[in-house]
Amino acid sequence: MAFFKRFKKKKTPQEQEGQPQAQEQAASPEEQPSETPAAPQGEAEAVAAEATAEQLPETSEAQEQPPHEPEPVQEAGAAPQAPEAPAEPEEEPKPEEPAEPDAPAEPKAETEAPEPPEGEPKRGLWGRLGQRLKKTKDKIGGSIDRITLGKKIDEDTLDELEEVLVTADLGVQTSLKLIEQLRGKVARKELDDAEALKKALAKGITEVLSEVPPAPERDNNPHVIMVVGVNGVGKTTSIGKLANFFQRQGRSVLLAAGDTFRAAANEQLTIWCERVGCDIVGGQEGADPSAVAYDAVEAAVTRGHDLVLIDTAGRLHTKVNLMEELKKIHRVLGKKLPGAPHEVILVVDATTGQNALQQAKLFNQVVPLTGLILTKLDGTAKGGVVVAISGEMKLPICFVGLGEGMEDLRPFEAEGFAEAIF
């Protein structure tokens, strides 16, 4: 019996957790009040005042209570878990020690993969970074070696491969699509051995990863990027790395410390800012994040910066009140600078596997996502979720995090990634 049939009977974690939440979130836009008049230009206080004026039941509740306090907030660095359906437990040890909440981690030094010894052929960037994807590579490429060892490739092999792909977090839908593509080749006896099978699969995965629209051109002035995600996925760290990436491209970056909930977030971002050499608009603990975002765009216009990267507090995608706060930041940015935010990037932690896909679906219902950053690909065998998210969401993976160092954020490249996991 094909794995999917067995798998379907058991019900996937995705099926278990996805549908009720999706309905809950899908209902929320109708609960929204109509837009209020534009915020007065140039005054952050006015934006904060707007917060009071446009109280939603959910928003006001979020503001009366400490907005994040009762959350089952995970410790920084650990995989976020939706209470309803925890992500499948990892077989491997946790990737890193959780950071002390009040002691922002110093950005780690660069941990570049070593160049090949002289004389050896140069492999692509992703080839050199293949070591960082070792667990995913072992899971997918290694399993293919095992299931094809000493056997001819036939329908049974495809059944086993289907199981490998689903358990490697490529998602049921995408795994089935890939298997269907291989079926004809197997029938025509075009795939003789593991290498041919891997090559054909890598091609199929590259196609899935390439079927997404490109990330928006970053040519607005200033170009505003809002960064969102659940707790501890690596938002602040990724913003620091992004600032470094863009500054090295010769663009001047301003960071907005819009995570005004976590005491150390402002400090953590300031450390990144000093390290990278960019500008920052800080956010006092407890301040209205929309006001910080508003001020940051104003400062970027006045000071002539090219890019604004807005950090936001971590929030569980299942908490409607906190998700409403994101809508407000989005709305206020649009009032301050028409067209802003030009990008809304969701940061997801690859170690959470299918839960990351679920987060992407639910955040996308609240603020229109333009792309994703997948962090912690270096510490997980669940890297296949990259393919599931691309295949199902049709959203570009803009960058991937492959470590904690400043340079460990890479622009995603479909072909290189597909090669690196085999």
Site residues (CB under 6 A) for ligand GTP?
A: 76-77, 95-96, 99, 105, 229, 231-237, 259, 262, 265, 314, 375-376, 378-379, 401-404, 408
**DSSP H stretches of helix in 189-319:** 194-210, 235-248, 265-276, 289-303
Measured distance CA(236)–CA(124) in Å, rounded: 28
Measured distance CA(129)–CA(115) in Å, rounded: 10
Query: Binding site for GTP: which residues?
Result: 229-236, 311-315, 375-378
Half-sphere exposure of 372 (CA within 13 A, CB side): 29
Query: Binding site: which residues?
Result: 229-236, 311-315, 375-378
For 66, phi and psi rounded to 5 degrees?
-55, 120
CB of 49 to ligand GTP, least distance (A): 26
CB of 230 to ligand GTP, least distance (A): 7
Measured distance CA(308)–CA(281) in Å, rounded: 10
CB of 24 to ligand GTP, least distance (A): 22
Tokens, residue 313: 């507090």
Dihedral sign computed on CA atoms, order 362, 363, 364, 365: positive
Measured distance CA(104)–CA(68) in Å, rounded: 19
Measured distance CA(363)–CA(156) in Å, rounded: 38
For 268, phi and psi rounded to 5 degrees?
-60, -45
CB of 311 to ligand GTP, least distance (A): 7
CB of 407 to ligand GTP, least distance (A): 11
CA-based end-to-end distance of the chain: 26
Measured distance CA(202)–CA(267) in Å, rounded: 42
Quick one: 95 or 130, whose CB is closer to ligand GTP? 95
Quick one: 153 or 309, whose CB is closer to ligand GTP? 309
Please check whether residue 44 is in contact with residue 116, taking contact to mean a CB–CB distance below 8 angstroms.
no
Quick one: 77 or 341, whose CB is closer to ligand GTP? 77
Quick one: 165 or 254, whose CB is closer to ligand GTP? 254
CB of 167 to ligand GTP, least distance (A): 22
- Find the radius of gyration of the CA atoms of the chain: 22
CB of 95 to ligand GTP, least distance (A): 5
Which DSSP string do the residues of 96-144 spell out, in sequence order? SPPPPTTSPPPPBPP-PPPPPPTTSPPPPHHHHGGGGGHHHHIIIIIHH
Quick one: 232 or 383, whose CB is closer to ligand GTP? 232
Quick one: 173 or 270, whose CB is closer to ligand GTP? 270
Interior angle at CA 36, CA 34 and CA 39, nearest 5: 150
Quick one: 164 or 356, whose CB is closer to ligand GTP? 356
